[in-house]
């Protein structure tokens, strides 16, 4: 079986129990940590459309946007301008590696550990939902400040203090996960935390025992996570997935939405277009949250990939047919509306699949002893690729014209083929019992050491 069926692990792996108030509030608070990055990325991208900002720093870009004879593909071709946007990812590269070496828990891992197994996909999807909510907030702020001459762009950047304050307050309020408490030897606190999280009816003792076994396994590998990940054969599938995770996280969706619309629309209408796609994105992520634990990760990734490929090919056809290869033709209103609609379709396909599921899959699929290192490595690879994409996309668009969209469609084909062949299904599997998924995969099992026969996975937490 290529992808493997859905294992559902209940009492042995934990994750049973009801959706409690503690789980909901803790997950929402932890996921809100993504607000700031979403705001920062979208506000800096939106500044590229604001006259006050362009007039102060990039007047030549402003002249190009007002020139009817300008090649539409090359209006924003400026390395200094793109560096302003992509510089955020340089810090992300270093911070991902440092956090993978020094820390045990990040916001996505926190969500994966605290959520019940059968609803883990929905709760972890909140991480990407808040990222897009931050982008939506930024676009609304940019739309309002765009009419303020000279200093409107300063206000857009300053409002970023609001999501930052939300994160600081939220970090002080959320409780430790049971996994973290057990890791520090605080068993009584971990037991009490599990009871609050899972509810009175849940079998918390079985889950606590499962967590304790996973932590004991982790303690036998207290150091050298990166060395194990790179050098030991049994962790080779995890190393490959960590690299793939970096590629999955680097998809240029948000940049594509802005850059596809920019050559077609006036600056203020481009911001309006971003707001529309933000709404579509939030709605599609909500759909993903409802569907991911019912239909599985692989099904949504395959469906979303088909939508991405078709929409990218369609955009390439429209751009090629109406703008040509020199970008000098005008885009009729009907075709411009068609491209905006295709961007919305692309956004919906991304929001229901790769957007949230890149976090769902990567936070749940690694064993505890290499999880921080694998996530840190994936984050660093993602930062490098996003930086390269940000710096090269406008150059590619100017040089390859509509062929740029076909280039990215080709990469989606590669990604979906990788999912079909090598990504196991993890729906309903308790995070401490994820080794069983690797042991049953048609290809990965040849690398993974089989678990002891005395600790089999149980199948009690079935499909929703």
Tens digit of each residue's pLDDT (9 = 90 or more) over 127-143: 889 989 999 999 999 88
Average model confidence (pLDDT) for the chain? 77
Ranges 80-89, 300-309, 411-420: which has the least confidence: 80-89
The pLDDT confidence band at residue 10, using thresholds 50, 70 and 90, is very low
CA distances from 27 to 9, 20, 120, 228 (A): 21, 11, 10, 31
Please give the Cα distance from 177 to 14 (Å, whole number).
13
Tens digit of each residue's pLDDT (9 = 90 or more) over 338-394: 888 888 899 999 999 988 888 888 888 877 777 777 777 777 777 777 777 777 777
Higher pLDDT, 95 or 317: 317
Higher pLDDT, 13 or 248: 248
| pLDDT score for 252 | 47
> 3-class SS at 18?
coil
| pLDDT score for 259 | 52
Please give the Cα distance from 85 to 393 (Å, whole number).
12
Residue 3 in tokens: 């992808």
Residue 364 in tokens: 């749940």
Task: Count Cβ atoms within 10 A of the Cβ of residue 434 and give its class: 0-12 exposed, 13-18 middle, 19 or more buried.
Answer: buried
In the predicted model, is pLDDT for residue 457 greater than 50? no
CATH H-level, domain 21-446: superfamily: MFS general substrate transporter like domains (1.20.1250.20)
Please give the Cα distance from 345 to 352 (Å, whole number).
11
In the numeric block, the tokens 């042991």 are attached to: 439
Domain ranges of the chain: 21-446
Ranges 330-334, 444-448, 450-454: which has the least confidence: 450-454
| pLDDT score for 11 | 36
CA distances from 412 to 140, 253, 287, 313 (A): 30, 12, 21, 11
Ranges 39-48, 106-115, 152-161, 446-455: which has the least confidence: 446-455
Nearest to 352 by CA among 302, 315, 310, 312: 302
Please report how the helices 267-295 and 35-47 are oriented relative to each other, as an axis angle in degrees rounded to 10. 150
| pLDDT score for 295 | 92
> Helices (DSSP H) in 34-119: which residue ranges?
35-47, 51-57, 59-65, 79-102, 107-114
Q: What are phi and psi for residue 397, nearest 5 degrees?
A: -60, -40
């Amino acid at each position: 079986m290529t992808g493997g069926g859905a294992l559902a692990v209940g009492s042995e792996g934990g994750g049973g129990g009801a959706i409690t108030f503690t789980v909901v509030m803790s997950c929402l608070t932890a996921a809100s940590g993504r607000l700031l990055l979403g705001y920062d990325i979208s506000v800096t991208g939106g500044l590229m459309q604001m006259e006050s900002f362009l007039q102060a720093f990039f007047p030549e870009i402003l002249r190009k946007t007002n020139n009817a004879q300008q090649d539409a593909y090359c209006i924003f071709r400026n390395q200094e301008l793109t560096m302003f946007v992509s510089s955020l990812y340089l810090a992300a590269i270093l911070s991902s590696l440092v956090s993978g070496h020094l820390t045990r828990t990040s916001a996505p891992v926190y969500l994966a550990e605290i959520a019940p197994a059968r609803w883990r996909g929905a709760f972890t999807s909140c991480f990407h939902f808040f990222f897009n909510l931050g982008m939506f907030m930024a676009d609304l702020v940019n739309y309002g400040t765009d009419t303020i001459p000279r200093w409107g762009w300063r206000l857009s950047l300053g409002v970023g203090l609001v999501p930052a304050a939300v994160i600081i307050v939220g970090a002080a309020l959320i409780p430790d996960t049971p996994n973290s408490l057990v890791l520090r030897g605080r068993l009584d606190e971990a037991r009490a935390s599990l009871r609050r999280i899972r509810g009175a009816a849940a079998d918390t003792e079985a889950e606590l025992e499962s967590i304790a076994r996973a932590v004991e396994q982790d303690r036998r590998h207290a150091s050298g996570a990166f060395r194990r990940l790179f050098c030991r054969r049994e962790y080779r599938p995890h190393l490959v997935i960590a690299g793939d995770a970096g590629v999955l996280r680097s998809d240029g969706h948000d940049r594509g939405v802005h850059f596809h619309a920019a050559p077609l629309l006036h600056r203020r209408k481009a911001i309006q277009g971003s707001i529309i796609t933000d709404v579509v994105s939030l709605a599609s992520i909500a759909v993903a949250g409802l569907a991911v634990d019912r239909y599985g990760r692989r099904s949504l990734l395959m469906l979303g990939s088909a939508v991405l490929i078709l929409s990218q090919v369609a955009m390439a056809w429209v751009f090629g047919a109406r703008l040509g290869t020199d970008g000098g033709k005008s885009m009729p209103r009907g075709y411009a509306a068609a491209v905006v609609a295709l961007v919305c379709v692309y956004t919906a396909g991304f929001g229901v699949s790769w957007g949230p599921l890149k976090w769902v899959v990567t936070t749940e699929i690694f064993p505890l002893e290499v999880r921080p290192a694998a996530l840190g490595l994936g984050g660093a690879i993602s930062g490098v690729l996003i930086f390269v994409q940000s710096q090269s996309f406008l150059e590619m668009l100017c040089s390859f014209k509509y062929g740029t969209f076909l280039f990215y469609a080709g990469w989606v084909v590669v990604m979906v083929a990788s999912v079909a062949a090598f990504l196991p299904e993890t729906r309903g599997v308790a995070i401490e019992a994820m080794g069983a998924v690797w042991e049953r995969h048609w290809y990965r099992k040849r690398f993974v050491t089989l678990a002891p026969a005395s600790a089999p996975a149980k199948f009690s937490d079935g499909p929703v």
